[in-house]
Amino acid sequence: MLRIDIITVVPELLDSPLSHSIPGRAIKKGLVEVHVHNLRKYGLGPRLTVDDYSYGGDAGMVMMVEPVFNYIKELTAERHYDEIIYMAPDGEIFDQGMANELSLKENIIILCGHYKGIDERIREHLITREISVGDFVVSGGEIPAALVADAIIRLVPGVLTDETSALSDSFQEGLVSPPAYTRPAEFNGWKVPDVLLSGNPKLIRAWQDEQALQRTRERRPGLLEDKA
């Protein structure tokens, strides 16, 4: 069973995203475990401090090495972790292939950065993988961590029903998904393509493949370049 441990300074940011919808149902079914840990457990001094000014005088606070080291040490003493991930703006860009890979792991730690980042020694000595969700900066790693966890959890066998099968998701075959329609067949003069009403699975599949390829060319041509 997949277990994800998330270390954060703001655990409240992760409560709702991982407690509802598909992740919440997966946890309730016992198909995955998600544990959110407050880094301030190992904060220093009476105020449980986890950050300090950076050497060199740069603006912003940096997460200290000791609290992070102590929390990771506690977790790794209990079990082996396949990956210790740091959510970092300059990390490897997260994609569907990486989600597929991580969904096959048993135990994962995700460390959420905050403030100006984390002490570089954590990255050098404790982190096994650094992941980014895009070329932009947000207030902390909590929302990116929730995004990564959601993408991984939905791939765990038994989490999704046939109606929401991950096999038909965008990017699983290196293409975006084709258009989707549901009832009614006509609304406000807007009609569902006749082929989808034909009842012919072979024709429908061919149409969907053609539409997926066309949409990919128009909207995400870089995906086709990657396959070349």
User: How many CB atoms are closer than 10 A to CB 80?
Assistant: 7
Query: Of 18, 41, 27, whose CA–CA distance to 142 is shortest?
Result: 18
User: How many CB atoms are closer than 10 A to CB 209?
Assistant: 13
Contact 23, 33 (CB under 8 A): no
Q: What is the mean pLDDT of residues 208-222?
A: 95
pTM: 0.88
The strands making up 2-8's β-sheet, listed across from edge to edge, are: 32-38, 2-8, 107-112, 83-93, 129-132
For 100-137, what is each residue's pLDDT tens digit?
999 999 999 999 998 889 999 999 999 999 999 999 98
Residue 170: the pLDDT is 57
DSSP class of 167:
G
CA atoms of 37 and 73, how far apart (whole Å) = 13
Domains and CATH numbers, the chain: 2-153 (3.40.1280.10), 170-227 (1.10.1270.20)
- Distance (Å) of CA 106 to CA 130, 132, 146: 18, 21, 18
CA angle 170, 21, 111 (to 5 degrees): 80
Residue 163: the pLDDT is 46
